[in-house]
Amino acid sequence: MEARILIVEDEEKLSRFIELELMHEGYKTDKAGDGRMALDKALKESYDLILLDIMLPGLNGLEVLRRLQKEKPTPVILLTARDAVMDKVAGLDAGAVDYITKPFAIEELLARIRVALKLHPMIQENQTRRTDGNKEGILTWGSLEVDLPGHQVHYAGHEITLTNREFMMLKTLLENRNIVLSRETLLEKVCGYEYLGETNVIDVYIRYLRAKIDNVFSVKMIQTVRGVGYVIKDPSPEEKV
Ligand code: CA
């Protein structure tokens, strides 16, 4: 089945251009020209991926992204005309799986779309599987429980809300317990091998994860190995509770 992609872009020419390219690649497409229409469509319909411009009339892209992640998490690639690092960090933190800076080469956008679809195969589908009640696909660390198919994280029963990228990072570290992973390895696993970003984005995610888990529950889960990378080791006895 072809992936369904919503293109949210107020520049008519660019929107049409992207649409034609995506259709040529065999994707099903839909378009929205402003923030409100985008949010409306995204909540009503089911898309595998949303390409979301940040500078939009009505409701800006970051706001659309925040509301969407709250009500109906869908993989989003941000289209940003700005070079401001804060916009990108804010976007990734709000749950975007990737971003691309305008003007971009269409080949790069298509590559990022392929990676995003590979890394985030239909979150909705995963959510319906959650009700099965089986314990398969659960990673634990002390009182931490990561439900992979359900995309949920709990610490001693407290729900922790993670963005897609933070979730992937935690999953990767837990699946490689006691193995020190370099920033390059983490970048490849979390962002996809075609991701062209810098490895210091990994430090940003580690900081977010620590702020949401280590700092809140007073544990030392994620350890820094200076000059090498990061590792989650077996929990110490007091963290095993
Ligand atoms: Ca725009």
Kindly write down the DSSP assignment for every residue of 165-196, as one continuous string: HHHHHHHHHHHTTT--EEHHHHHHHHH-TT--
**Cα of 102 from ligand 1 centre, angstroms:** 10
Mean pLDDT of 4-32: 95
Q: Residues 190, 109: one domain?
A: no
Q: Does the pLDDT of residue 135 top 90, yes or no?
A: no
**Cα of 79 from ligand 1 centre, angstroms:** 8
Q: Residues 71, 46: one domain?
A: yes
Burial class, 202, CB count within 10 angstroms (exposed 0-12 / middle 13-18 / buried 19+): buried
Segment 152-174, tens digit of pLDDT: 999 988 999 998 889 999 999 99
**Cα of 178 from ligand 1 centre, angstroms:** 45
Q: Residues 55, 118: one domain?
A: yes
**Cα of 82 from ligand 1 centre, angstroms:** 10
User: Domain total for the chain?
Assistant: 2
The predicted structure's pLDDT at residue 134: 41
Q: Does the pLDDT of residue 226 top 80, yes or no?
A: yes
Decide which of 53 and 131 is more confident: 53
The predicted structure's pLDDT at residue 194: 57
**Cα of 12 from ligand 1 centre, angstroms:** 10
**Cα of 54 from ligand 1 centre, angstroms:** 6
d(CA 114, CA 28): 14
Report the CATH number at residue 192: 1.10.10.10
**Cα of 81 from ligand 1 centre, angstroms:** 8
Q: Which of 125, 155, 178 is a domain's end point? A: 125
Please answer whether residues 140 and 99 qualify as being in contact, where contact means their C-beta atoms are separated by less than 8 angstroms: no
Nearest CA among 213, 111, 206, 202 for reference residue 153: 213
Mean pLDDT of 128-151: 72
Q: Residues 162, 142: one domain?
A: yes
**Cα of 60 from ligand 1 centre, angstroms:** 9
Which range of residues forms the domain containing residue 37?
Answer: 4-125
Q: 150 Cβ partners below 8 Å, 6+ apart?
A: 126, 127, 129, 130, 137
Q: Residues 89, 154: one domain?
A: no
Q: Which of 125, 145, 178 is a domain's end point? A: 125
**Predicted confidence band of residue 12 (pLDDT cuts 50, 70, 90):** very high
**Cα of 211 from ligand 1 centre, angstroms:** 33
Whole-model pTM: value is 0.54
Segment 97-132, tens digit of pLDDT: 888 998 899 999 999 999 888 877 654 344 333 333
**Cα of 40 from ligand 1 centre, angstroms:** 18
Q: Residues 108, 45: one domain?
A: yes
**Cα of 42 from ligand 1 centre, angstroms:** 18
Mean pLDDT of 175-191: 88
**Cα of 31 from ligand 1 centre, angstroms:** 13
Q: Which of 93, 125, 157 is a domain's end point? A: 125
Three-state secondary-structure class, residue 127: helix
Q: Residues 121, 135: one domain?
A: no
**Cα of 2 from ligand 1 centre, angstroms:** 27
Mean pLDDT of 14-38: 95
Q: Residues 117, 140: one domain?
A: no
Q: Residues 48, 144: one domain?
A: no
d(CA 151, CA 7): 25
Please answer whether residues 5 and 48 qualify as being in contact, where contact means their C-beta atoms are separated by less than 8 angstroms: yes
Q: Residues 54, 115: one domain?
A: yes
**Cα of 39 from ligand 1 centre, angstroms:** 15
Q: Residues 115, 135: one domain?
A: no
Q: 157 Cβ partners below 8 Å, 6+ apart?
A: none
Please answer whether residues 163 and 92 qualify as being in contact, where contact means their C-beta atoms are separated by less than 8 angstroms: yes
Q: Residues 17, 87: one domain?
A: yes
**Cα of 34 from ligand 1 centre, angstroms:** 9
The predicted structure's pLDDT at residue 213: 94
Q: Taking all residues of the chain, what is their mean pLDDT, rounded to a whole number?
A: 86
What's the sign of the alpha-carbon dihedral 185, 151, 84, 213? negative
Token readout for 187 is: 């970048």
Report the CATH number at residue 120: 3.40.50.2300
d(CA 175, CA 131): 23
